[in-house]
Amino acid sequence: MKVIRVLGMLGCLLCLQQALMLTSSAQSTAKGSESNPIVTISTGQLRGGLTSDGVAVFKNIPFAQPPVGELRWKEPRPPQAWTGVRDATVFGPMCHQNDNKHLPHSEDCLQLNVWTPQWPMKSSAPVMVWFHGGGNFAGSGVEPLFNGEVLARHGVVLVTTNYRLGIFGFFAHPELTKESSHHASGNYGLMDQIQALRWVQQNIAKFGGDPANVTIFGESAGAADVNALIASPLTKGLFVRAIAQSGPVSNQTLLADAEKRNVEWLAKSGIGGKQTPAELRAIPDTELMVKLGQGAPGMGGGGLMMGIVIDGWVLPEQPTKVFAAGRQQKVALMIGSNSQEFGAGMMGMMGGRSATPTPDIRQMISQRYGPLADRALAAYGLDGPNDPPPDPQNGTVMTQWSTDNSFRCGTVQELIWHTAAGNPAYQYQFSRTVHGQEAQGAPHASEIPFIFGTLSVWQQMRKYNESDYQYASLMQAYWTNFAKTGDPNGGELVRWPKFDATRRAYMDFVDAGPVVKEGLRRAVCDVFMENEKRQAKTNK
């Protein structure tokens, strides 16, 4: 199962559930009243706001020119300056999408948001830049789930950002490739993320952030994007650390394949024969969404192919090949997944696939692993006549298979590659369940409110209690410690060892608290990695 397809499906469901020099520069630009701090950046002045406990927040900050008209499907351009003081107290719109209509959305959406621990800042602070999930066709940086106030209180400057999605952000077409000075098309959303990071390098010191200490992090498709950015030659010097939550490095669609499919789909659509860049850019955004934006891009079927592509510029080659050769950016890495990404609650929303009869899963494993099928079946306890009982932590065999195949084992492979290149790395598994909902395990995205301290957003659905809020504070400490120093440890926290290919130590965030374990799903992941090598040789 291709990882990006899985991230797309889960992204849909997640969206449905949503809703020094540095010191002097920060202090010299920190003006305004106590409740309305003003900061001067490269493009003008911004008036933000203060929360009740003194966290400053600046919203709806343009980091690029609006990608509309002639700038649709082009590399983002630096933002233009404005006169006067720009109001930065209200969030801007999300980027256009079909699946998430509870907040305003627009093609003019390239804005970001900044939270600082206090105002004015008295010293420079580490910076964390968040890339949301949603299959690269849904989600936004303005979701309540991603409110940066709590993380900022841990002493970091927190940035959330939008990036173009779906038809606007990941549309490859031969005519767009031809007109590009880089002879590339399709990865406009990734280009937006890179532009946001360039904006951070230029401006974040004005907010008290340290541009030399930037950590990027993301979940699901946002984590896949993080790994693409680590693999891209265009991101050198833009960040020093990365956190990938449920989105290991994976192979992506070749540009030529995406172009071919999109040309064919355009010919069948209500767009008709409009195939030149000028004709396509003349189509109103709302019409594009209706006629070309339906479905889940990049997930297969008969629609447009919209997802990350190997375009020869942002991504000159497959990210997996880059990692395997040790040519990725030399950054510290934290990466992990959840114990039941396709847990009972999530799978029920997908039509009950967790109840797939055991003979089906035997067939799926045999087809995928070919000559290694017997080893794979044995690793899952399916080599005998009896079916294994569900694992209390990892769920049914189907749930285990789905999580292993799409998340866990790819994560282990990435860690082995990354540490082999001399980079420090830490692995985790999030296994925390909700009291009374233990059978649902820890499904996809369930770690997010713990990391951001936004449990209240999902309170009605997940029924969190006081111990969950305490657990969240603990996880925030690990995440922000890593952002500060590249080491998640500190204080009285349970010590989290670095990953190495032999021991494969990881931190398991179980119900009782964090526990250090070794060799996550070792037997399963060993045969998974061997099979990936076999298939890579076959596909050469």
Q: Where do the domains of the chain lie, and which CATH numbers do they carry?
A: 3-254 (3.40.50.1820), 330-538 (3.40.50.1820)
- d(Cα 338, Cα 149) in Å, to the nearest integer? 24
Asked whether 230 and 256 are in contact (CB, 8 A), the reply is: no
- Tokens encoding 388: 């294994």
Closest CA relative to residue 522, chosen from 506, 540, 510: 506
- Reported as type and span, the H/E element at residue 357 is none
Asked whether 481 and 494 are in contact (CB, 8 A), the reply is: no
Closest CA relative to residue 10, chosen from 430, 537, 403, 477: 403
- d(Cα 489, Cα 513) in Å, to the nearest integer? 15
Q: Give SS3 for 352.
A: coil
- d(Cα 8, Cα 14) in Å, to the nearest integer? 10
The dihedrals phi and psi of 107, each to the nearest 5 degrees, come to -70, -30
**pLDDT number for residue 1:** 39
Asked whether 87 and 48 are in contact (CB, 8 A), the reply is: no
- Tokens encoding 238: 């833009």
- Residues paired with residue 241 on neighbouring β-strands, in sequence order: 215, 332
Q: Which amino acid is at 284?
A: P
Question: What pairing do the DSSP bridges indicate for beta strands 105-106 and 49-50?
Answer: unpaired
Asked whether 164 and 186 are in contact (CB, 8 A), the reply is: no
- Tokens encoding 206: 């004005």
**pLDDT number for residue 264:** 87
Helix 221-231 / helix 188-203 crossing angle, nearest 10 deg: 70
The residue ranges of the chain whose pLDDT is under 70 are 1-34, 99-102, 272, 293-303, 344-359, 540
**pLDDT number for residue 11:** 55
Q: Cis peptide leading into 120, omega within 30 of 0? A: yes
The CA radius of gyration of the chain, in Å to the nearest whole number, is 23
**Which residues touch 504 (CB under 8 Å, ≥6 apart)?**
412, 415, 427, 518, 519, 520, 522
- Tokens encoding 148: 């940066």
Question: What pairing do the DSSP bridges indicate for beta strands 111-116 and 56-62?
Answer: antiparallel
pTM, two decimals, is: 0.93
Asked whether 233 and 329 are in contact (CB, 8 A), the reply is: no
Asked whether 119 and 57 are in contact (CB, 8 A), the reply is: no
What are the residue numbers of the active site? 220, 341, 444
**pLDDT number for residue 10:** 56
- Tokens encoding 196: 């946001």
- Residues paired with residue 334 on neighbouring β-strands, in sequence order: 243, 426
Q: Give SS3 for 117.
A: coil
3-state secondary structure 431-497: CCCCCCCHHHCCCCCCCHHHHHCCHHHHHHHHCCCHHHHHHHHHHHHHHHHHHHHCCCCCCCCCCCC
**pLDDT number for residue 267:** 83
Measured CA to CA in angstroms, residue 178 lies from 67, 173, 174 at distances of: 19, 9, 6
